[in-house]
Chains A and B, each alone.
Chain A
Amino acid sequence: MGRSEAAARPEAAVSDAGPAAGLYLPSPATIQEVRLETGAADVRTFKVTLDGQEIGKDFIYRPGQCAMVSVFGVGEVMLSLSSSPTWTTHLEFSVKNAGKVTSTMHGLAPGARLGVRGPLGNWFPYESLQGKDLLFVGGGIGLAPLRSLINYVIDNRDRYGKVEIIYGARSPQDLCFKSEIFETWPKAPDTEVFVTVDRGDADWKGKEGFVPAYLEELAPSPVGKVAVICGPPIMIKFVLQGLEKLGYSDEQVITTLEMRMKCGVGKCGRCNIGHKYVCVDGPVFNLAQLRALKGEFV
């Protein structure tokens, strides 16, 4: 009576290495290295190890998953893991300086202590993507979660088809992961990287223009392919339109979402899009799933 016929149980996608006993108690972690990503210094990548835990053994995660990172005494913030699970020496978080916790993080040096709660949320369907061609479309810091999957694919190169990466940022200064986009990835077999900036500078010899326009120009065929996208809402909006024009179906488009998060475990309520919680049911959704939800996602 008046009840939905939909699942009567939460469909939480929970990793087998979810947080243990203390649901809100982070595991101790240490910063090993801090790398400046952008000229404007608003994005830094933190190489982090977990004290007394082995990555890949005690902390198992999949590309696209997130973790709650604590700066003790300041707060906690949900960050996507920008490292690939194939790297077992450390985790990486690429962090934009945007609030109290992240700005404090930006002031931390190697040796500083953090807390990590995770991995949280679902992941890119890296298993069902095997054998397919992949198109990655990223904007700005939105490349961080994609990077996890890109490196995973490159480390398992024979299991995946052709890889195309379209990446853009406001200026050459704002491009993240420069050594990867200009060196490592283009050298990987059957991998192409297309970089554009909104506005170039004196030294910029590459492409100028917005990501959605570049996508239209390159017009990658949808046949046998899945597009994985992440970036600022405005970019997503136009990229989605572009992909639709190119003939990508909603099932062929995967994105990862950002919402304000606090608990990370489906309790505090705030990250819902319709009846789904981005922290436990997401952050990865395909477009068909998103369209079926009531909510404000782009």
Chain B
Amino acid sequence: MAEKLVTSEGLFTMVEKLLGRAQVTAPREENGIAVFGPVNSAGQVELDGPLPVIPEKSVVFPQSETLLRMDLGGEVPKVEAVEPEGEQVILGVRPCGLQAFARLDRVFLEGAFVDPQYRRRRDHTLIIALTCPTVKRSCFCRAFGYGPSDGSGADLQLTRLPGGSFHLETLTERGGEFVAEMEKEGIAGLTDAGAEAGSAARAEKARVERLAERSAAAVSTEGVVEGLDGMYDDPYWAQLAERCISCGICTYLCPTCHCFDICEKARGPEAERYRCWDTCLFSNYTLMAGGANPRPTVRERLRNRLYHKLNFFNHRYGEFLCVGCGRCVEHCPTNIDIRKVMAKAAARSRAQGVSVNG
């Protein structure tokens, strides 16, 4: 696929052009924190910062979104499904974000029930990935078989080159169309990448892959699913839960968590049904109308989260629901670390002797 070179000014102009025709979401800094959020000027985009705390998922699965609009004034209620509108671009998606989109696709698009909201947003979102400029200690992508330069799943991929310019690769037809469009508009600073830029990009990718290599030594998925198969009633969960405050950080920041609640709001004859993020760590999540709760304590709730990430999803879809982005590791207020859970499970599976090599 085509390789281009774009100066940071050129990229700036491209973003400005995009702003007129699509909702642009990009890494942005807010009060010292990097977040993925809507931007309204190219100057807000911050591509050199750390992995944004608020994950990419909000572009395809917003914190809250309307499902139905109702007019209850007449004798017969008028109810219509609301379709998300417009075009979106998400810029600066890291490889873990791309992997997360692939997991969300399986949940929302696979099987007999296709989620119309997600489908519409996904189809109308152009994904411009970014080779990670830095690798944090909390990153453990390599454990899941990909690394910080892996652009699979993106339409385009940017790699920051040492001089400050970006190497831009088109990875899909849609990405190609976008570049062609930009070329037609005559973006100054957007040129074909020569051999030099190409090899600089490969060198940069190799550099960040080496950085990520360090975590590969520390975390592995080997035996995790099998170990957990035999650990459901282990006292370990109660021990972990003792210090978990049952907040929403690890799940709301997780790029693959997809749980939602469906609520109604009515004002006079007008009403709306919407969905909003929810998490299995909250006690209300499974609380039934009669007051019974199958997961009454933090132990059951935390265990559910960890199993969903590292075992249940595997049994359902054949892959992990964790992509190793490290957000939960870094932001858990009580330092509950999913990598340690993986290590514990792996050790258990070795002890059980059920681990299959390779």
Contact = CB atoms under 8 A, between A and B. Distances in A.
**Interface core residue of A77, A269, A276 (most chain B CB under 10 Å):** A269
B358 A265 contact: no
Interface of A: 1-4, 6-10, 12, 14, 18-19, 21-26, 28, 72-77, 96, 98-99, 102, 113, 115, 233, 258-260, 262-263, 265-270, 272, 274-276, 280, 294-297
B155 interface: no
B289 interface: yes
A102 B313 CA distance: 33
Contact of B108 (A25, A28, A96, A267): A267
17 contacts: A2-B224, A2-B226, A3-B225, A3-B318, A7-B316, A22-B81, A24-B68, A24-B116, A73-B77, A73-B264, A76-B262, A233-B292, A260-B285, A269-B278, A272-B304, A272-B312, A280-B113
Contacts of B223: 2
Given A2-B222, A3-B225, A115-B79, A25 B314 contact: no
Contacts of A28: 76-77, 79
B285 A270 contact: yes
**Interface core residue of A2, A22, A280 (most chain B CB under 10 Å):** A2
Interface string B56-84: 00000000000110101000110111000
Contacts of A22: 81, 116
Interface of A is mostly: loop
B111 A74 contact: no
Contacts of A1: 145, 221-222, 358
A59 to B, nearest CB: 16
Given A24-B67, A262-B275, A272-B312, 16 more contacts: A1-B145, A4-B314, A6-B318, A10-B317, A19-B113, A25-B68, A72-B271, A74-B266, A98-B288, A102-B289, A233-B292, A262-B260, A265-B113, A268-B261, A269-B278, A274-B307
Contacts, number: 169
B217 interface: no
A8 B317 contact: yes
Contact of B315 (A102, A260, A275): A275
A18 B113 contact: yes
Contacts of A21: 81, 116
A295 B327 CA distance: 27
A52 B70 CA distance: 19
Given A4-B315, A73-B72, A294-B307, A23 B114 contact: yes
B317 A296 contact: no
B323 to A, nearest CB: 14
Interface in B107-128: 107-108, 110-116
A113 B76 contact: yes
Contacts of A295: 294
Contacts of A294: 232, 307, 311-312
Interface of B: 67-68, 70, 72, 76-77, 79-81, 107-108, 110-116, 145, 220-226, 232, 258-264, 266, 271, 273, 275, 278, 280, 285-290, 292, 294-295, 300, 304, 307-308, 311-320, 358
B116 to A, nearest CB: 5
Contacts of B304: 272
A12 B287 CA distance: 24
Given A1-B221, A267-B115, A75 B264 contact: yes
A259 B304 CA distance: 15
Given A2-B225, A113-B77, A275-B313, A267 B110 contact: no
A96 B67 CA distance: 27
A267 B222 CA distance: 28
A26 B78 CA distance: 11
B355 to A, nearest CB: 9
Nearest to B265: A73
A268 B262 contact: yes
A10 B285 CA distance: 23
A268 B76 contact: no
Contacts of A102: 289
A294 B295 CA distance: 12
Contact of A23 (B113, B266, B307, B313): B113
